[in-house]
Amino acid sequence: MPTFERFPMPDAGEGLTEAEIVEWKVQVGDSVSINQVILEVETAKSLVELPSPFAGVVTEIIGAPGDLIDVGTVIMVVDTDPFGAPAAAPLPDESAASAPSPAEERAAGSAEDVEQTEAVADATGATVAEDSSEVAATASEHVQALSTQTPSTQPASASSAEPQGDEASGAVLVGYGISHGATTRRPRRADVLTVNKPAGNEAVRTKPPVRKLARDLGIDLSSVDPTGPGGLVTREDVLAAQAATAAQPLATYAVDDAPWLASGTVSSDGRQTRVPVKSVRRRTAEAMVASAFTAPHVTVFHTVDVTKTMRLVKALREDREFADVRVTPLLIAAKALLLAVSRHPEINASWDDENQEIVYKHYVNLGIAAATPRGLIVPNVKNAHRLGLKGLAQGISDLTATARSGKTSAADMSDGTITITNVGVFGIDTGTPILNPGESAILAFGAIREQPWVHKGKIKKRWVTQLALSFDHRLVDGELGSRTLADVAAVLEEPSRGLIWG
């Protein structure tokens, strides 16, 4: 007998209450095995693949891609015993002894079906033959009538050879054919250009200067209403079309497949697209609002000469030891932040509002803010304080690759202690970053630019960047925050200090 098991939406992260269906990997009727990936969902933290806890045949799927499902809601039903043993047959009795067996009934039914099928086939064959004769006769009469009405065409027959020469242009079975007496086309005016429209057989007639004007203004000539003589598109027509286009919205996005618009609804006038706030974007918004209005933010800044850091990056890229990892200035900035935390461990803390306690962390899970198509996420390198420079480079590379693919796990984004955000990758000098919830500090690493700089009493061209450190003023005083940022800058200015402080 069938045995149905119901699969509810599990908690794919730490305390998550809902998830959005992204893609079903199975369909109703498919056979599934235990731990086979059946569904991909998007939580408030990441994309997660869900395995099947049952083996059997899928009998029901509840929820379509884009649906937001609460944790605990049944989303799939599986028949775990689709080929179960049939029920035992009842004992025979005297009344059933004379009745024909099921096999005999099927045999008799098959014989009757064969007789009925043959009879229907005979009748149908006769009818089809008669209908075919009538259709053929009607078609022959129709062709003869058309041939009589169009003497310029040649009647076609199955036995005739392929038409050649002039006969090829006149052998038209249906229609008016091609006139043999057609004259050559009237010469076109040299100052008028004809452009075929994408749809229909009509054409756009315009002069070369007008065509250039339309191209410069980005106006499609096929969409311009002509007002000139003989349907000629004039300069005024193009300018009018441009004015009408300028009054329209930038784009309607009606068929736009941009990920940030795909789930939205376009307004009737095409001027707005409304996208539901969910998943990563909603989680980010909630976290940023909670952080901004809970922790009093203070930001300090520092401009620093990082010329020696750039030389170190170049040397490491040429070092065989670092051939299999990506070396960037961000790597050195991350190492500098870790060294600063080791000198000022009290900045690596969090505020427990419920218990009114400051929680000091004796480990560093270094968060790396990553911009992805799904929004901003902050995965962290676990126990980054224990990693050497190469191990840290590998950890950052792994987090970045996973974030771009949308496969960052909830564990990778939990329990961060301090974060670095690389706004310089976007060409931004610096900013005032908002704290990642549960952390006390975040470092913004700005763009590195060649600038005139006073070096050893002379103005020289040097590589310069700006740093900004935001911190929670409830547990980090201005002195602690300033000293931490000064140490980060000191290592970037002179990387050899890392040998002493490390």
User: Could you give the dihedral angle defined by the CA atoms of residues 46, 49, 54 and 56, in that order, rounded to the nearest 10 degrees?
Assistant: 140
Distance CA 282, CA 292 (A): 15
Tell me if residue 473 is catalytic: yes
Neighbour order of strands in the sheet with 74-79: 4-8, 74-79, 56-61, 31-32
The strand pairing partners of 370, in sequence order, are 377
Q: Which residue out of 142, 297, 344, 473 is catalytically annotated?
A: 473
Q: For 228-286, what is the HEC assignment? A: CCCCEECHHHHHHHHHHHHCCCCCCCCCCCCCCCCCCEECCCCCCEECCCCHHHHHHHH
Identity of the amino acid at 96: A
Question: How distant, in Å, are the alpha carbons of 149, 167, 397 from that of 160?
Answer: 21, 12, 74
Burial of 461 (0-12, 13-18, 19+ CB in 10 A): exposed
Q: Is 312 left (phi over 0), alpha (psi -120 to 50) or beta?
A: alpha
Mapping DSSP to helix (H, G, I), strand (E, B) and coil, where does residue 479 land? Answer: helix
76, 25 Cβ separation under 8 angstroms: no
Residue 355 near residue 340, CB atoms below 8 Å: no
Torsion of CA 369, 370, 376, 381, to 10 degrees: -50
Task: Report which of 427, 429, 439 is spatially closest to residue 472, judged by C-alpha positions.
Answer: 439
User: Cα-flanking dihedrals φ and ψ of residue 235, to 5°?
Assistant: -60, -40
Q: Which residues are catalytic?
A: 473
